[in-house]
Amino acid sequence: MKRLALIFFLVINTLAFSQDMTTDINDATSDMYKDFTSLSSKVDTFRDFKSKYFKTTPEYALYLKRFSHIYYFVDELDKYNFRNNTNVTLWVPFYFAPAGGFDIMNGSDTAHNSNGVNIAFNYRLYNLFNNKITFYAVNSSTQNGNFNNLTGLDINNVDKEGRIRLFESINVFTTGLNYNIFNSFNSNQAISKNVFIVIPKAFKRFNLDLTPYNETGFDAITGIDYRIPKIEVNSISTIKLNYSYTDSILKKVDAVTFPFEAETLYRHRLTLHLIEKAVWNKQKPGNTYFTGNYLSATADFGIPLYDTFNSGKFTFRGQIEDKYTKNLFNKDFFLRGRGLIGINYNISDNLSGDGFIRGLSKHDFTGFIYFVGNLELSLPAVYVNLSAAADVPFKKKANFLLFLTLFSDFGVAVENYGYQINGSYTRYTEDYLKDYRLKLFGDNIYLNYAWTAGGGLRIYPYFMHFIIRFDVGVNVLESILTKKSPSIEFVLAFNDMF
């Protein structure tokens, strides 16, 4: 099976990219694409693919504009904020981008507070055989989450105007590797021989987790994305069938105690998700940031079809996201903001740490009703022309810009600690929750609130689909209220946070 997959991969690449790289796009025809890319036909020297299997066309440019954001409807993939860089994709129909990176906490009392290594690789082939079909594959691995393998197709040749995009994908996931490593390190045999115990203890001392439960399953995803005329809003209707089998779970992993006790579950779950997403995107591509406004609303209805324990519950997750980026002084100064509003039923969201509120330990800030705000100021620090710096003639424009970024993240949420957290089989014990929560009513309803601040660096290459981001977030509110040293989060990633 692996050999067949490799042969298919090589054949597709050979057919799609058997090209003549001898001609330049700097001619009059390139002016028709000026609304889709920040490149100038008079200055930039990207080279066009001269292939009978691919041609840059106005229809393809419209596809990139109308469907600029990439959604897979798998939370562990969509958190990476994948997006097409039209400076590259318009001329070279090949997309390869790493995302994620490394995330570690320091100074927090929480025993479970770092994501550790979380990395993804996104591969896409656009406009195969000039037939408006895109093939994509994504692999991701999270140290305390799943190993995901998703493949699929985008089909944009349904209607003449190219306003309809059909998509089909399947994602196979497992936590087995992380769990088995964790469990074998903590087995009685390992303890008795005093072998390998250094590794899990080191993980715990540095507050790095491995997944404490053994789960395998798949997502079968299909949907239609329709770009509504006149109002230019994307209406995305998706059906996702999720199946998972949970074999066992380690108990009391919130303490540095070995060996851990494993509980056998043998639980099968089958859930149907009906997802509706509306996107109003007025952002314009630039050399670095997309400027303008982006507004989306998502409703996810989770319908349990089967559960071994007969404990499946109907769930609902609703979220509104608004992002705005303003270019200041007509220079490379940017002010960015994002607001998230969520209303859930029978399930909570984890909004702690990178992706939401930087500087928080994992599960410190959760809620089923919440608001999260992010503000960033990006100041240009270094501009580099690689052709001049390296004295090497590049075939395409090779510049990058280094930004210094200052940010503040904040949020307020109502939480029911009886709800399961989306995407997690475990919820950490009361002993490790922040003591400045406000109890509202009942035994489980609390008000959570958070405020963090920090700074970082961004490197934006004009000629790649990914960036390099380094953030340091400090839990300011924790320091003020508890008079203790605050927790600090360090993030190194290949994707922007929003």
CA pair distance 62, 66, nearest whole angstrom: 6
DSSP 8-state class, residue 352: B
**Does 216 or 265 have the greater pLDDT score?**
216
Tell me, what DSSP letter sits at residue 260? Answer: P
pTM for the whole structure:
0.86
Nearest to 114, CA basis, from 102, 123, 126, 122: 102
CA-based nearest residue to 411, from 377, 452, 354: 452
Q: What is the dihedral of CA 32, 33, 35, 36, to 10 degrees?
A: 160
pLDDT band at 10 (very low <50, low <70, confident <90, very high): very low
Q: Which of 16-30, 196-210, 450-464 has the highest mean pLDDT?
A: 450-464
| Dist. CA 404–CA 377, nearest whole Å | 8
The mean pLDDT of 194-200, rounded to a whole number, is: 53
* Tens digit of each residue's pLDDT (9 = 90 or more) over 54-72: 777 888 888 988 998 999 9
Whether the CA torsion 481, 482, 483, 488 is positive or negative: it is: negative
How large a percentage of the chain has pLDDT more than 70?
Answer: 76
| Residues 411 and 351: beta-carbon distance below 8 Å | yes
In this prediction, residues 154-177 reach a mean pLDDT of 92
Q: Is the peptide bond before 461 cis (omega within 30 degrees of 0)?
A: no
Cα–Cα distance measured from residue 498 to residue 482, given in angstroms and rounded to the nearest whole number: 30
Interior/surface letters 215-230, b for 16+ CB within 10 angstroms, e for the rest: bbbbbebbbebbbeee
What token pair was written down for 392? 């090497």
Amino acid at 448: N
Angle at 137 between CA 133 and CA 141, to 5 degrees: 160
What's the confidence (pLDDT) of residue 188? 47
Handedness of CA 203, 205, 209, 214 (dihedral sign): positive
What pLDDT is stored for residue 32 in this prediction? 67
Report d(CA 433, CA 112) in Å as an integer: 10
Mean pLDDT confidence for 422-427: 79
SS3 15: helix
Q: Which two tokens mark 407? A: 């940010």
Cβ–Cβ < 8 Å for 293, 326: no
pLDDT in tens, 472-497: 999 999 888 888 888 889 999 999 99
Residue 343 has pLDDT above 60, yes or no: yes
Per-residue pLDDT at 134 exceeds 80: yes
Which distant-in-sequence residues (6+ apart) come within 8 Å of 231 by Cβ?
280
pLDDT in tens, 251-272: 765 554 445 677 788 899 999 9
> Higher pLDDT residue, 61 or 211?
61
Through-space distance between the first and last CA atoms of the chain, rounded to whole angstroms: 37
User: In 3D, which of 231, 238, 223, 233 has the Cα closest to residue 66?
Assistant: 233
> Which H or E run contains 6?
helix 2-16
The residue type of 36 is F
Q: Which residues pair with 155 in a beta bridge?
A: 133, 166
Residue 24 pLDDT grade (very low, low, confident, very high; cuts 50, 70, 90): very low
pLDDT (mean) for 131-149: 91
